[in-house]
Amino acid sequence: MLLVGVACLLAITALAAGPLSAAEPDRVAILLREPTLKALEEPVRTYIQDVEQRFPAKLQIVAGDWKTPEEVRASIKDLHEKQQVSGVILVGAMPMHRFYMHDFANPNPLYYEDFDLKFSDQNRDGVADGYQGEPRLKVWVANLRCSVNANDDDLDTLKRFFAKTHAYYQAKEVMEPRALALSASDWPEGGTWFKDQIGGKLLDKDAITVLENKACTLKSAKKALNEQDHTLTYIQVHSDWNAQSMEDGDLTAEQVAGFKTGSLITINHGCSTANWMHNEAEKTRPNMAMSYVFGPNIGQAVIAQVRTGMVYDQESLYEGLAAGDCVGKAYFKTKQKAELQFVKGDHVPGDIVSGILMIGNPFVQIRPERGR
């Protein structure tokens, strides 16, 4: 494994450090394969500079030749224990652990976020389907991944993403915060709940557009998504990895990926929207959740489900964003709380109950600061 600092190459042991004080920046590791780094070194270094100018964080590049999730997990554990790394960005088609929930072997970043849990393969089919221990997350993990295929980085799309991220950070004007809430008839008042209970804590209620119940049509949703950019989009409709169901038709991943306007942050409660492994198995693309991030618009980050279910304990997520947390920290808080709250609850035995992951850039805020 190779550790690359912002300006020079360093051995991983050279950066070993003691516990962080409250005033020290968060330490975040960017993990990617060596060929991926060779292709993306310039945009990744630009990204590091942009982030460190705007957030109390110290980023480092860790390049290696990981073949298995077990190897990735060991590296993350080592970085956390020796360097107090609290966040990890996996760039490109990094190995991802699989965990069987409900009806499919799903992407499972919890394997990396809590490396003390003991996972087991009870039916011996090669896929973990149970775990022992109480989830205590050590790090948050962001998947800066745009391809559904296990061995495809899709370097061109990653380069475009880093370019638009740099443009976003360098923008002279901060976009006026505004939000969009979509909730179909199975959650007839979901949009109103978001506006009254959540959205108002993040931005002015007058800046929140609600399309709910019978008004959440395909036409109205496409119009709202195409009309203007949003800081935050909240989605609670029936979904899968290819499409999201409005009242009169499906909004497809292909459509969203082509939108010229977008949302900096998308919180997607739709079932299985982030399950790119389903796409790979069916040979479909793009993935639904990925389409909100990697299109030609301002999309930067999405938190979404990998299985049937919803984003649990979302209040913690929005409280973190309202407090000024970046998406990575807000995701960490809500996932940790949900896992502890629901681990012994009414769910299928063996479920990773929150079932969520993060795709895209974790260093985005509702009200960003332009430099220090």
Same domain, 186 and 98: no
Q: Tell me the percentage of the chain whose pLDDT exceeds 70.
A: 88
- What does the alpha-carbon distance between residue 305 and residue 283 come to, in Å, rounded to a whole number? 20
Q: What is the CATH number of the domain that holds 242?
A: 3.40.50.1460
pLDDT recorded at residue 9:
30
169-223 confidence digits (pLDDT tens): 999 777 889 999 999 999 999 999 999 998 888 999 999 999 999 999 999 999 9
Which of 169, 189, 219 is at the close of a domain? 169
Same domain, 288 and 261: yes
Same domain, 151 and 178: no
Instruction: Classify 53 as helix, strand or coil.
Output: helix
313-356 confidence digits (pLDDT tens): 678 899 999 999 999 999 999 989 888 876 665 555 556 656 88
Distance between first and last Cα of the chain: 33
The pTM for the full model equals: 0.92
**Residue located via tokens 């010229």:** 260
Which of 125, 140, 169 is at the close of a domain? 169
Number of domains in the chain: 2
Among 44, 92, 45, 100, which Cα is nearest to 66's?
92
Q: What is the mean pLDDT of the chain?
A: 89
Going by the DSSP 8-state scheme, the letter that residue 35 receives in this structure is: H
214-253 confidence digits (pLDDT tens): 999 999 999 999 999 999 999 999 999 999 999 999 999 9
- What does the alpha-carbon distance between residue 300 and residue 51 come to, in Å, rounded to a whole number? 13
**Residue located via tokens 């590091």:** 48
Same domain, 241 and 329: yes
Q: Is the pLDDT of residue 372 over 50?
A: no
Same domain, 237 and 313: yes
> What type of residue is 204?
D
Q: What is the CATH number of the domain that holds 76?
A: 3.40.50
Which of 123, 154, 169 is at the close of a domain? 169
Q: Is residue 79 part of a domain?
A: yes
Q: Is residue 271 part of a domain?
A: yes
- What does the alpha-carbon distance between residue 312 and residue 173 come to, in Å, rounded to a whole number? 34
Owning domain of residue 57? 2-10+26-169
Same domain, 222 and 282: yes
Q: Is the pLDDT of residue 304 over 50?
A: yes
